[in-house]
Amino acid sequence: MDKFKIGFIGMGRRGDYWLHGCILAREDVDLRWICDIDSEKLEAASAKIAAKGFNPKATTDFHDILKDSEVEAVIISTDWESHIPIAIECMKAGMPVGLEVGGAYSVNDCFRLVHTWEETGTFFMMLENCCYGRTEMMLLNMARQNLFGDIVHCSGGYCHDLRNSLARGRELKHYRLRNYLNRNCDTYPTHALIPIFKLLDINNGNRMVSLYSAASPAKGLMHYSKETGFGTEDILPNGAMHGDVVTTIIKCAHGETIHLNLETTLPRFYSRDLSVHGTKGIFTENGDSFYFDNIPEHHKSEAHKDFYGNIEDFYSEYDHPLWKKTLKEGVTGGHGGMDGLVLSAFAQSVKNGWESPVDVYDAASAMCITALSDESIATGMPVGIPDFTNGIWLCRKEKEKTLYSL
Amino acid sequence: MDKFKIGFIGMGRRGDYWLHGCILAREDVDLRWICDIDSEKLEAASAKIAAKGFNPKATTDFHDILKDSEVEAVIISTDWESHIPIAIECMKAGMPVGLEVGGAYSVNDCFRLVHTWEETGTFFMMLENCCYGRTEMMLLNMARQNLFGDIVHCSGGYCHDLRNSLARGRELKHYRLRNYLNRNCDTYPTHALIPIFKLLDINNGNRMVSLYSAASPAKGLMHYSKETGFGTEDILPNGAMHGDVVTTIIKCAHGETIHLNLETTLPRFYSRDLSVHGTKGIFTENGDSFYFDNIPEHHKSEAHKDFYGNIEDFYSEYDHPLWKKTLKEGVTGGHGGMDGLVLSAFAQSVKNGWESPVDVYDAASAMCITALSDESIATGMPVGIPDFTNGIWLCRKEKEKTLYSL
């Protein structure tokens, strides 16, 4: 395969990690452009990249990339506010899009994203790296083998102590801080939710129909700022708006429930808090435990622990084929290999003209949760979740698509 | 202390476990009466008790116990439907009540319970044994030392695979089955919730203000019945109504949120799924992990694991004094010692005229969650939670009361 020639938009911390944790190490990717509206960030990024022997063109205007007919795709890794507007302009220009994760500010913006894709047909993929997590993929692999039986409930979340980067948001020019100072909602739903989409066939024979969100008090950042002296000019005057723990319950068309959790401003260990609950077995990430009803025939002579135990007991048999291959060939790319895998899926899909593994409907469905949780918390009421497919979810029942092509 | 002379009402499985797992082994308790409306159960219970050398009087009418002036208190361990009516009659007769846990069928019934207590002044305690769990008590002990900082969120649940006893409900004459066949709500909220009341000062300076509940499909019992052949005459014809996973979000007066979970009809390991989330630290039961921000001064020279690690690392320093004493003297009574401790608290409170450790307001507040989650699931809407104290929660700010007297 020819090198995948890309432009990269957004040179913040995530952009830096993308390039130096994954992209620049790849033989099969050719970084043609970098872009950031902040010329200081752009210059620093150029210098750091040049020191590794690469010399992509640099611009503060992403439209310059769209005019370069050799570029095959862009990755958008900007602030959340500009995700959808830039993605729309790229699609209109016929430029394939890989969009970093984040939430939306309005349901309308999600519809604009969907309609632009439907009108242009330009390739679009949300780069949800957690779809490629080893645990997430093993769970999907096991679900496809019907080990959980009928899955009736899933939970997941983003539990990550971000207080330091939030309190240093001014210094880091981080978009997250302004969101936390002014909004109260699940600002970051996709990491847990899109892998759950795959488990529950959302937009492929199932869909989400409503949600209810509640936010705890927002005390964590204030406490942290007082204790550490970070962010005192931004956080101490009025505190933050973003609840320390934001809980969302989603109902699906076939009755399944999803419990979504966001906890980013308290001291804690990292967790995506995944759980899967089915008629034949369950998995809970906290505790790393599987529990199954029956030991299948071919396991009868083996250790019982294989069907009742920690995640380590299950990898050897149930790792997804893509992860078995990855482990054999060597894990590459940041975030434990997820970045490398999502980038490969993006490149292969664009090059081969495949369906998007995480398409515009998945992206809109996940991103809208932010705007809808905002509304639910503000009103104290449950809200409906739009059908961004306009009924296409009833027709699409293929379970795998090209999500995990080898 | 003289022996605590009691009558015991309800000789089902819980009653049997109470007597043979705890009460009959106690030197300080004198079982004067047993009662069950089912004469077969009563006879079987009498025979089993007689075989151990005890000979309480037996009756199918609990009013007989109320006429016995030597009896100091009754324990009500009947079906959920009769909990409140029997408790009310006992209080009216001036007979101190220890009420087993369960949910209510209407908010009105909870108010009747409260008003009866207010009018009669008869001692009332809900025998919530989980308030006396080692983990729950250690968490409370740590919270009282402000180790978690401001607690903004708690979660808890009752995650227990009850499929076998449910599917054998007809044979066991178990009240749970008829509830699961006809109701869809959190039928069993108290085990997690009342210990959380203590952490969040509910009815003592704080209160719950609203809830929203959602239920997953009810597929677990049907699947189990098909697989095992148990309960085919009750479950297979129409399935069950009770969602396999019932999720409830509760909002409190000071903004704290509680995530409550009930999961009893899927294959799984037991868990009360407790978690505590504060500005200085968190605990999650699944994973058994504590995580704290700062290592206090007196720990600086010791292992860091004491402030970041599994529950075992914390017992030695943070066990509640009552549990330290209990472990020294030997754990007695069922459910890992909780039954013995809750019985002691009940006996001491009645004998000494102390305030009830788990009073009628706690009981009503917890039991009403069942009726309100029923309403929320049926309507798809959040519902308000009544203030059963009529404002007294604003005045009661003592944090310990006699809950854990030594």
Amino acid at A356: S
ipTM computed for the complex = 0.94
Q: How high is the pLDDT of residue A398? A: 62
Q: Which residues of B touch A286 (CB under 8 A)?
A: 284, 286-287, 289
Min Cα–Cα distance to chain B from A84, Å: 32
Q: 3-class DSSP state for residue B153?
A: strand
B257 → closest Cβ in A247, A279, A287: A247
Q: What is the mean pLDDT of chain B?
A: 93
Give CA torsion, residues A314, A247, B141, B290, to 10 deg.
40
- Residue spans in chain B of domains classed CATH 3.40.50.720: 4-129
Confidence (pTM): 0.95
pLDDT interval class at A214 (50, 70, 90) = very high
Three-state SS for A54-103 is CCCEEECCCHHHHCCCCCCEEEECCCHHHHHHHHHHHHHCCCCEEECCCC
Say if CB B379 and CB B211 are below 8 A apart: no
Contacts of residues A291-299 at CB distance under 8 Å and 24 or more positions apart, as own/partner, are A291/B267, A291/B268, A291/B269, A292/A147, A292/B267, A293/A149, A293/B227, A293/B267, A294/B227
Tokens representing A162? 């971000």
CB contact under 8 A, A257 and B247: yes
Question: What architecture does CATH give domain B131-320+360-402?
Answer: 2-Layer Sandwich (3.30)
Chain B residues with CB-CB distance to A251 below 8 A: 214
Q: Which residues contact B286 (CB under 8 A, 6 or more apart)?
A: A284, A286, A287, A289, B271, B273, B275
Residues of B in contact with A384 (CB under 8 A): none
Using alpha carbons, select from B88, B239, B102, B227 the residue that is nearest to residue B176.
Answer: B102
pLDDT tens sequence for chain B (406 residues): 699 999 999 999 999 999 999 999 999 999 999 999 999 999 999 999 999 999 999 999 999 999 999 999 999 999 999 999 999 999 999 999 999 999 999 999 999 999 999 999 999 999 999 999 999 999 999 999 999 999 999 999 999 999 999 999 999 989 999 999 999 999 999 999 999 999 999 999 999 999 999 999 999 999 999 998 999 999 999 999 999 999 999 999 999 999 999 999 999 989 999 999 999 999 998 776 888 886 444 444 444 445 677 888 889 999 999 999 999 998 888 888 999 999 999 999 999 999 999 999 999 999 999 999 999 999 999 999 999 999 999 988 665 554 555 4
In this predicted structure, what is the pLDDT of residue B337?
A: 92
Contact A153 B247 (CB under 8 A): yes
* Tens-place pLDDT, residues A265-309: 999 989 999 999 999 999 998 776 888 886 444 444 444 445 677
Is the Cβ pair A277, B223 closer than 8 Å? no
Flag if A149 and B223 touch (Cβ within 8 Å). yes
**Which residue matches tokens 């409190």?**
B252
CB atoms < 10 A from the CB of A2, how many? 8
Which chain B residues contact residue A279 at CB under 8 A? Answer: 219-220, 223-224, 244, 266-267
Mean of per-residue pLDDT scores for chain A: 93
Q: Which of B210, B216, B222 to mutate to test the interface with A (most CBs of A within 10 A)?
A: B216
A93: tokens are: 């220009």
Say if residues A144 and A399 touch (Cβ distance below 8 Å): yes
What whole-number distance in Å separates Cα of residue B213 and Cα of residue A107? Answer: 24
Is the Cβ pair A279, B244 closer than 8 Å?
yes
Q: Is the dihedral of CA B95, B100, B104, B110 positive or negative?
A: positive
Residues of chain B with CATH 3.30.360.10: 131-320+360-402
CB-CB neighbors (< 8 A) of A280 in chain B: 223, 267
Chain B CB contacts of A224 under 8 Å are 279
Interface contact B216-A255, CB threshold 8 A:
yes
Q: Which of A215, A244, A254 sits opposite B277 (nearest CB)?
A: A244
3-class state of residue A313 by DSSP: helix
Q: How far is A143 from chain B (nearest CA, A)?
A: 15
The reply to whether residue A268 touches residue B291, judged by beta carbons under 8 angstroms, is yes
- Nearest-neighbour CA in chain A from B222: distance (Å): 9
User: Which chain A residues contact residue B223 at CB under 8 A?
Assistant: 149-150, 279-280
List the single residue in A with minimal CA-CA distance to B222: A279
Please answer yes or no on whether A257 and B267 come within 8 Å at the CB atom.
no
Closest chain A residue to the Cα of B273, Cα to Cα: A286
Q: Is the pLDDT of residue A404 over 70?
A: no
Q: How many residues does chain A have?
A: 406
Whole-number pLDDT of residue A298: 46
Model pLDDT for residues A36-81, shown as the tens digit of each residue = 999 999 999 999 999 999 999 999 999 999 999 999 999 999 999 9
Residue A406 scores a pLDDT above 70: no
Residue A352 has phi, psi (to 5 degrees) of -95, 0
As a whole number of angstroms, the distance between CA B269 and CA A104 comes to: 38
Query: Do the chains contact at A287 and B292, CB–CB below 8 Å?
Result: no
The answer to whether the CB atoms of A291 and B256 lie below 8 A apart is: no
Structure tokens, B24: 């009959």
Average pLDDT over residues A213-235: 95
- The CATH architecture annotation of domain A4-129 reads 3-Layer(aba) Sandwich (3.40)
User: Does A286 sit within 8 Å of B286, measured CB to CB?
Assistant: yes
B375 contact residues in A (CB cutoff 8 A): none
- Which one of A163, A245, A285, A310 would you mutate to disrupt binding with B, by most B Cβ within 10 Å of its Cβ? A245
For residue B303, the model assigns a pLDDT of: 44
